[in-house]
């Protein structure tokens, strides 16, 4: 990303660390380095989690998890998300561990090689210096025991040259030893940097593991919601069956009541017809009775 196109405020939507309660302003590095998009690691992680919680399916592919879809589809999407997070965590951990281990091993091996070479050169220079000193001592003894002054002068010149060469070798060995010490210090600094990178890799692994645990918790919550939904559906089904049974019983009672009402109506109609017959019979005029004559004796 170009420095001119770098963000000037924190990209986290819920950031309120600015002077007026809005997003916090960002200060980008001018002399190189990673450009900043968030005011803190906490807001960067929160924005990453917000992007992960967004729907993964394209428009028209059905509701996203937690937006009204069936419980089975929600559980399936959460399980897929948990598997994807676990796979990404394993890939990141393996890549970081392999990269850091290889780099640290190469740096340590190079540092050991440089140190070994410097120590070997220092030992060789010391041995050569000892030989030169021994030769110079022999030359001095030969010069002291020489009879002629010319031989003594030549021996002394050779001894002086040998001493000068030994001093040069000693200076060169000292310089190589200092170079070896500098290389060892550089290797130690490289080791410290590698340890810091490994610590950052472990922190990133812990963060990915925490996100995976959160996804598993969400999956468990979705499974419990699915279980509750199934229990509610079973209760609703049972209530519907009980209501249907009650409706059938009420219908049977209604039919029995209708039959009893029909019977009562028939008896009432028969009573009315009998009462009407009785009234008609009472309304007819009575026939006069004929008196019988007394019998003659």
Identify whether the C-beta of residue 255 lies closer than 8 Å to the C-beta of residue 263.
Answer: no
- The CA distance from 191 to 234, in Å, is 64
**Predicted pLDDT of residue 55:** 56
Q: How many helices (H) and strands (E) does the chain have?
A: 3, 0
**Predicted pLDDT of residue 129:** 80
Beta bridge partners of 25: 9
**Predicted pLDDT of residue 203:** 92
- The CA distance from 69 to 60, in Å, is 13
Q: Which two tokens stand for residue 269?
A: 């109609």
- The CA distance from 75 to 224, in Å, is 10
Identify whether the C-beta of residue 222 lies closer than 8 Å to the C-beta of residue 78.
Answer: yes
Q: Where are the beta strands (DSSP E) in 102-166?
A: none
Identify whether the C-beta of residue 178 lies closer than 8 Å to the C-beta of residue 118.
Answer: no
**Predicted pLDDT of residue 69:** 46
- φ, ψ for residue 25, nearest 5 deg: -70, 150
Identify whether the C-beta of residue 10 lies closer than 8 Å to the C-beta of residue 26.
Answer: yes
**Predicted pLDDT of residue 210:** 92
Q: Which two tokens stand for residue 221?
A: 């919550």
What 3-state DSSP class applies to 14? coil
Identify whether the C-beta of residue 26 lies closer than 8 Å to the C-beta of residue 9.
Answer: yes
Mean pLDDT, 10 residues at a time, the chain of 297 residues: 74 83 80 78 86 59 46 72 77 64 68 75 80 80 72 79 88 88 88 89 91 90 89 89 88 88 88 86 67 56
**Predicted pLDDT of residue 63:** 47
Q: Which domains does the chain have, with CATH numbers?
A: 1-54 (no CATH), 72-254 (1.10.287)
């Amino acid at each position: 990303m170009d420095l001119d196109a770098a963000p000037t405020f924190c990209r986290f939507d819920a950031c309120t660390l600015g002077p007026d309660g809005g997003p916090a302003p960002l200060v980008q590095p001018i002399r190189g380095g990673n450009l900043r998009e968030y005011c803190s690691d906490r807001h960067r992680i929160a924005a990453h989690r917000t992007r992960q919680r967004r729907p993964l399916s394209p428009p028209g592919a059905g509701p996203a998890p937690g937006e009204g879809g069936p419980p089975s589809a929600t559980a399936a999407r959460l399980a897929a998300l948990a598997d994807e997070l676990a796979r990404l965590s394993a890939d990141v951990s393996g890549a970081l561990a392999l990269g850091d281990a290889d780099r640290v091993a190469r740096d340590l091996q190079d540092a050991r090689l440089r140190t070994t070479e410097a120590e070997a050169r220092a030992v060789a220079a010391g041995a050569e210096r000892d030989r030169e000193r021994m030769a110079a001592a022999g030359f001095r003894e030969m010069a002291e025991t020489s009879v002629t002054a010319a031989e003594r002068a030549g021996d002394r010149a050779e001894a002086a040259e040998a001493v000068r060469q030994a001093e040069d070798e000693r200076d060169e060995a000292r310089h190589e030893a200092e170079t070896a010490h500098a290389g060892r210090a550089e290797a130690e600094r490289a080791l410290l940097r590698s340890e810091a990178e490994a610590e950052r890799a472990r922190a990133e692994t812990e963060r990915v593991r925490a996100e995976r645990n959160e996804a598993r918790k969400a999956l468990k919550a979705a499974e419990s919601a699915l279980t509750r939904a199934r229990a509610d559906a079973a209760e609703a089904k049972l209530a519907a069956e009980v209501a249907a049974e009650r409706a059938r019983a009420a219908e049977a009672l209604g039919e029995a009541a209708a039959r009893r009402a029909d019977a009562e109506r028939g008896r009432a109609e028969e009573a009315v017809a009998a009462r009407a017959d009785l009234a008609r019979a009472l309304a007819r005029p009575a026939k006069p009775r004929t008196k019988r004559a007394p019998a003659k004796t």
